[in-house]
């Protein structure tokens, strides 16, 4: 077992985190940054106005699994993923039965439903998770393409996650936030 010390806190990592890839670490770091202009870049309001939320997203289950694994630092998150996916599917099915409401009202209803489903598992990070989910859905991109756009927007240079066309000049990992270490003890106040 390897131990890191940050300030007066001892942080631990062990082989139980073998599933935790660089992609997981990158996504966890995203939760400690400001997503800034991504809502405009992905035109989230247009997503709701054009009712694109009624279309299923073939990459959603993969994205949900990675996000929830990143946030909970647990490998087996299938029950949580399917619970949240069920809420989203229910929202889509019930939409066709409801009277016409504004896109902003539909957006708010969606966010409330997903928040209620995710909060018992994600606690203090629930609101940010819902925002990230909305960004991913509005982007209509694959998980890898979404990651590349997100990384580019934040100005990070992560060689392992950059596309083929972006290779050529050597880059180094330069995140805008400090590295997030894996730990067995909860120390960030998000219980």
Burial of 109 (0-12, 13-18, 19+ CB in 10 A): middle
What is the model's pLDDT at position 35? 74
Number of other residues whose CB lies within 10 A of the CB of residue 124: 12
Q: What is the DSSP string of 93-118?
A: HHHTTSPP--HHHHHHHHHHHHHHHH
- The angle at the Cα of 128, spanning 19 to 89, to the nearest 5 degrees, equals 80
What is the model's pLDDT at position 168? 35
What is the model's pLDDT at position 16? 53
Question: Running DSSP on this structure, what letter comes out for residue 157?
Answer: -
What is the model's pLDDT at position 158? 66
Domain spans in the chain, listed from the N-terminal domain onward: 2-166
What is the model's pLDDT at position 87? 96
What is the model's pLDDT at position 34? 81
Looking up tokens 């003890």 gives 185
Looking up tokens 């819902």 gives 130
State how far the alpha carbon of 175 is from the alpha carbons of 28, 109, 115, 129, in Å: 12, 34, 28, 20
What is the model's pLDDT at position 140? 92
Provide the β-strand partners of residue 6.
9
- Mean pLDDT, each 10-residue run in order, the chain (191 residues): 43 57 88 79 90 92 96 94 96 77 92 97 94 94 91 75 43 37 43 44
| Pairing mode of beta strands 9-13, 2-6 | antiparallel
Q: How many Å apart are CA 191 and CA 173, to the nearest integer? A: 30
């Amino acid at each position: 077992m390897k131990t890191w010390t940050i300030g007066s806190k001892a942080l631990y990592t062990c082989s139980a985190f073998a599933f935790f890839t660089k992609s997981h670490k990158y996504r966890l770091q995203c939760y400690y940054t400001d997503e800034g202009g991504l809502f405009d870049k992905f035109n989230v309001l247009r997503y709701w106005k054009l009712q694109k939320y009624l279309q299923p997203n073939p990459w959603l289950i993969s994205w949900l699994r990675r996000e929830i694994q990143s946030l909970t630092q647990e490998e087996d998150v299938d029950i949580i993923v399917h619970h949240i996916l069920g809420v989203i599917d229910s929202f889509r099915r019930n939409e066709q039965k409801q009277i016409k409401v504004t896109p902003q009202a539909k957006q708010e209803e969606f966010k409330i439903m997903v928040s209620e489903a995710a909060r018992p598992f994600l606690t203090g990070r629930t609101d940010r998770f819902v925002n990230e989910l909305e960004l991913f859905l509005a982007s209509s991109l694959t998980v890898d393409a979404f990651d590349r756009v997100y990384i580019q927007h934040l100005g990070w240079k992560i060689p392992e996650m950059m596309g083929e066309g972006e290779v050529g000049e050597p880059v180094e990992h330069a995140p805008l936030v400090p590295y997030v270490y894996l730990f067995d003890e909860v120390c960030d106040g998000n219980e």
